[in-house]
Structure 1
Amino acid sequence: MARVAMIPGWAAKGANGYVLAIVSVGLALLARLGLEAFGKFYYLPLIPAVMLPALLASRRATALAIALSISANVFLVPRESVVDAVVNALLFALVGAAIGEIGRARRSLQARSAELKTQLSLRNATIHAMLASAPVVTLDSRSRIVAISQPACALFRTTERDARGRAFQDFVEFFDAGIIRSAPPGEYSSDQYWLGRRSDGDVFPLGIQLAFTGEPENSEAILTLTDLSLWHSAELRSQELSDQLNQVWRMNSLGEMAAILSHELNQPLTAAASYLQASQADLGKAGILADSASRTVELAKSQVLRAGAIIRRARDLLMVETQPLEPERMSSMIDDLGPIIQLLGPASDASIQIDIDNIEDRVMADRIQFQQAIVNLVRNAVEAVAERERREVRLTGRPTCPDFYEIRVEDSGPGVPPDQVERMFEPLMTTKSDGMGLGLSVTRTIVENHGGTLSVGVSPMGGAAFMFSLHRAKGEPVQ
């Protein structure tokens, strides 16, 4: 009987309950008849007959068992006193009813227990799934790691064995253990991020949310971790895009300013060229003594005209359309820059060496823009060696193959820092306190308009080497 009652969820329902009541009473009566030789037991052997339907069947089946037991006892055991028979029957009925209610309560508790076990199993499975997929750490009241999930181990690049028992401060810089002790029951989260430290020393931004199992002073804390590296990178990228947008706005403003300056400066430069031409004519009337002065005026006039051409090219550079490239001799274009380049050297006490191959030097170029690019590169090189003990700048030009002619501007300066190589050609990027950050950007644009690429490397002289190639004019083979 006890073994049957322990089977979870088993119960005699409907007619089966009544059959169970009849059978249990019959078996109890047989047991009682067997015990008659030892004395009068009356209702005692019939109590198990009531317990069985009470544990496994309904109230009606239990009531049937009680009624059958009383009827059988009254019929089989004659009593001298009717009152005694009635009292014993009532007592048995009350005991049987109590047993029935206890059985019913037991069945209800068993059903509730089974339901709670199912819910607990489901909850444990859910928690296990969460721990298997989320970085979670459990800390004691002293901020020592009690448990850590595999994703959390992967986040810190450690193992559960190495992490268990260690202080959480070993993995999160400046983590305040007082947060666990002082935070109110419930959850804690903050907009700030912490700095997590991996086992290899790598530091990354980390978000932490805490939940407490009870009073913070004596309970464990469950920490849910979030790697904020991607968010932090996105924030930095957003700032970079904002800076680039500001640069575009400034470049647009510079473009408008350049157009205005081009228009305004062309008029006085044209007037200055006219005055110089008139002065040259007057000097020509003065005779032989004025020849030297006339040559000086001629040089001044050529530079004024060149300044006007540079301004026009700068304006064209800001426009979508580009000037067509024409065959030019490299040696001729560099020779024209000779006076300007030689003026750059003494200003910084720098030695400027020019070595241009003038045999096979016909290239496709815009003469004015190309000369502007060369002046920018040489000026930067001279400024780079200004504070060096060895002040040398070298400008070289060589045909590298049948299709290209290479230009190199090298110096003995400090070179370009590796962290600035990728950004040094960006507009408005400068390392000089008085620089505008336009020289290299404009130079790169000019080189790209010529179909080349401006690059920077390390010079054998110890400083930087800027180089680019121009397309050679067709019809000139390499000897």
Structure 2
Amino acid sequence: MHRLLGIVDQRLDVPERSRGLLAAFAIGGCCIALSTIGSRLAGIDLPFAFALVAVVFGAFWYGALNASVVAMTTIPAAVVLNADHPYVTPTNTVVVALFSIVLILFGGHMTTLRRCADAEARRCGRREVFLQSMFSATPAAMLIADSEGEVVAINASARSILGIDVDDGTYLRLADVLPGPQTDIAGSRLIDRADGRRLTLSVSSVKLFLDTSELQTIYIHDETEAIAAADQLAQLQAELLQLGRATALGQLGSAIAHEVNQPLAAAANYAKVAQVALARGCLEAEVREPLEAALRHIFGAAAVLRRLRDFIRRSPLQPQWVDAHQLIMESTRIGAMAVRRADAELSLFVADDLGEVLIDATQIQQVVLNLLSNAAEAVTGSPIRRVELRATADVPDQCTITVIDTGPGIAPGFEDDVFVPFRTTKVDGLGVGLSISRTIVTAHHGTIAGETNAEGGATFWFTLPRRAAPERMANAA
């Protein structure tokens, strides 16, 4: 701030010394001329009078240097021009010279004080104009209120936000401008403008303590559009997650049909056996067994559909502490359909000490399903078709889920873009699966990454914060 004010002060006009010297010679010449004219025409017989007047004028108007030049010009001239005058004596000349010195010193000091006062006034004026322009033109909405709650200044940005079409001279109360608690003005506020528009404002304030009063500068930020944009973004993200789940299930279409048709076909066969047994007049015990088997397969198909329904339905983010082991097993039941459809072997290792994770179970299931689906597609056509899922807790307070496949690995050139939306090497792919997975994992305060294995295939893993299971914490206590 000191440097800034220094730049503002540099524009002050400094009087030129040469002008003062020219004025001194001009005053001296005028004094000599007036003294001669007054003596000869008007009968003014005071040889040193005009010299003293000139010294006084020069001292109090231009300063000591100017008055000194005037004195050195006019007093000798008065002595020379009035040498035969009875008042022009050595003693009188010395007295006049000494009196002139006193006038020069006193008048010069007064002139210096006046110039300092003028310079300070100009400096204050420039600073006032500068600060006023900053206050008025800044895009930051500001207003200043006194301890009585009266608005003493408000800039154009604040007037625009608040819908106030007044000048600074109009009386405004802070309670009218910002309704609500006045003791602690800072925080978020909802206000209704005169035109009916409702605004969400973020308000902060800074106290200003002066000698005779206390002021507070209040800063206003209109967050209405930002909040609306955030709500819209959240809605779009929810729709994108919904699209991701639908896309993932769409990629599993044939696998889902197989998983549902298989138990239904088995149930139909068992029902046919029961029907034949009844037609032959078999005993109830012989019929009960195929009917119970048919019911088991029907319930199995219903369970598959129920898991798919729970996965695909739209629901808000609801994080809760979930048993990680149970979550992985449930997620694998859906993802395993894609692996079996690819005629691949699924190897599963889930540690017993995974504990609990604070997650939205449906969204994390989507991540596991995406990784298993990608792995199943990757091993299709490979001589060795194997997919491995590992869930471990090797790092304290962290659960790591890893999916390894024996496919071709990450395509060259896609190592850095594998999580970028709409970047895919699949002919019929959208390129949103891994991008959505990263969004989900990041929202759960985890990390996700992938790499090509040295021996072939790819490894993808993601981490989630965890805590020990309640029974383990109880035993530790």
Q: How does the TM-score come out when normalised to structure 1?
A: 0.46
TM-score by length of structure 2 reads: 0.46
When Rg is computed on C-alpha atoms for both structures, the one with the higher figure is 1
